[in-house]
Structure 1
Amino acid sequence: MRVVVQDAPFDFGAEAEAFASGRHDMGAIVTFTGVVRDTGKNALSSMEIEHYPGMTQNALEKIAAEAVARWSLGDVLVIHRFGHMEPGEKIMMVATAAPHRKDAFEAAEYLMDYLKSRAPFWKKEHARSGQTDWVAAKDADEDALTRW
């Protein structure tokens, strides 16, 4: 299990390849990456993500360990960035390895739902107009947690 919170960009391809390399006992590897998306019509200039370093690392390690305990997983990778990012940049990555695809997919979705709604990150969007807004929690993200 590897959990990384960093400000630097990461290479999704290299991370996915390193995670999958040598996994002869795993029948499924699921990866997901979240990307900064423009809110529409080229309105978003950038996004800023803040966090409390120790608290965030511990919270992400705890949820990754819960996924390992709940599903039959061989390994988990969580990478989440903080700091200033522009549209198109990768924010986070989740990878799960399991003997069977159902466990790999469900654990990855569980981790993604947690990261979206419960992980201690705060996002601020900077519009091209100069307006700055904190991103509010969405009901749909909260509802997604009810299935777990």
Structure 2
Amino acid sequence: MRISVRVQEVDFNLSAENNALRADDDGIGAIAQFVGVMRNQNDGDTVSAMELEHYPGMTEKAITEIITEASSRWTLRAATVIHRVGKILPGEQIVWVAVCASHRHEAFQACEFIMDFLKSRAPFWKKETLADGSSRWVDARCSDAAALARW
């Protein structure tokens, strides 16, 4: 199975990434993808920007371990996770999770599994800048922890 994990400041091109993911593998029958986009609202406040920080090396390792766990549960052919860090504005892409399998059921489940664990287990820290200029760190959500319980 091919695994690709990138943590980067620059945006990514979904079409180019999708083409690279499925290149040279005629056994792929399904690709499930998730694109996370920054919204301009959180907890009732208008958010003008978000700063994402990570622990280099540790973050990539944690994401690779999540993908490896998914591949032990489902038969996957390839998986890619791209996660942005740095300053992100509303409407911009934050994360792309893509999973290739021979069949759709495995691709869908593995993609959702990876995203659920990425939200809770990968070492990222988010700081929001609100419309009034104030800032705050974003705490983990109970709903993210609850999503892990079903796996």
Fold agreement, TM-score > 0.5: yes
Size of the aligned set, in residue pairs, is 148
Deviations, residues 17-71 of structure 1 (Å, cap 9, x unaligned): 2213343212111111101111169821100000110111111111111111221
Partner of 1:82: 85
TM-score scaled by length of structure 2: 0.92
Partner of 1:21: 23
TM-score scaled by length of structure 1: 0.94
3-state DSSP of counterpart to 1:43: strand
3-state DSSP of counterpart to 1:53: coil
- 1:108 corresponds, among 91, 108, 111, to 111
* 1:58 correspondence with 2:61: yes
Deviations, residues 91-144 of structure 1 (Å, cap 9, x unaligned): 110010111111100000001001112210000110110110111111111100
Percent identity for Structure 1 against Structure 2: 48
- Is the CA contact 2:70–2:113 (under 8 Å) kept in the aligned structure 1? yes
> C-alpha root-mean-square deviation of aligned residues, in Å?
1.5
- 1:128 corresponds, among 123, 126, 131, to 131
Spell out structure 1 runs of 4+ moving beyond 3 A: none
Partner of 1:32: 34
Partner of 1:8: 10
